């Protein structure tokens, strides 16, 4: 009986001291990741300095470290005031930090330019 109480108290003490990284939702983000994104992306999410981060920026590096770049998870960790002020901009970071994908016409234009260049080289020979 006494051993059970000791084990219970040890487990309780362990649980209390190991709460430094709370995982939210489906476990896609941590409070630490939220803090890093708020710090590194502040220039992009604040209304005073709006803008779009470069995909290679430190901000985007932090966004990509969150599993699936789940910015909804980050927003869920904010208090209500910060959700209202910054939630949409934080959610947009997933799109801003995604690598650009070429459109079909861009690929076709590149192929066309390459073919034109090759024809010019052949004609000069």
Residue 83: inside a domain = yes
Give the separation between CA 15 and CA 104, rounded to whole angstroms: 53
Tell me, yes or no, whether 86 lies in a domain. Answer: yes
pLDDT by position in tens, the chain (length 125): 565 555 444 444 444 444 434 444 447 899 999 999 999 999 899 877 667 899 999 999 999 999 999 999 999 999 999 999 999 999 999 999 998 776 655 555 555 544 454 444 455 55
How many independent structural domains does the chain possess? 1
Distance of CA 53 to the CA centre of its chain: 11
| Assigned token pair, 66 | 């969150």
DSSP at 99: P
- Is 4 contained in some domain? no
Closest alpha carbon to 20 in 31, 6, 33: 31
> 28: domain range?
13-124
SS3 96: helix
Determine the Cα–Cα distance for residues 38 and 59; give it in Å rounded to an integer: 9
Q: Is 2 inside a domain boundary?
A: no
Q: Is 33 part of any domain?
A: yes
| Confidence (pTM) | 0.59
């Amino acid at each position: 009986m006494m051993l059970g109480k000791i084990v219970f108290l040890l487990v309780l003490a362990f649980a209390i001291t190991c709460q430094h990284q709370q995982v939210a939702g489906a476990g896609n983000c941590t409070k630490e990741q939220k803090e890093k994104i708020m710090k590194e992306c502040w220039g992009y999410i604040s209304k005073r300095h709006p803008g779009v981060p470069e995909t290679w920026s430190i901000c985007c590096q932090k966004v990509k470290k969150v599993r699936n770049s789940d910015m909804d998870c980050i927003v869920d960790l904010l208090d209500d005031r910060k959700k209202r002020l910054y939630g949409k901009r934080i959610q947009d970071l997933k799109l801003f930090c995604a690598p650009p994908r070429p459109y079909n016409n861009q690929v076709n234009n590149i192929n066309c330019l390459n073919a034109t260049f090759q024809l010019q080289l052949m004609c000069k020979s």
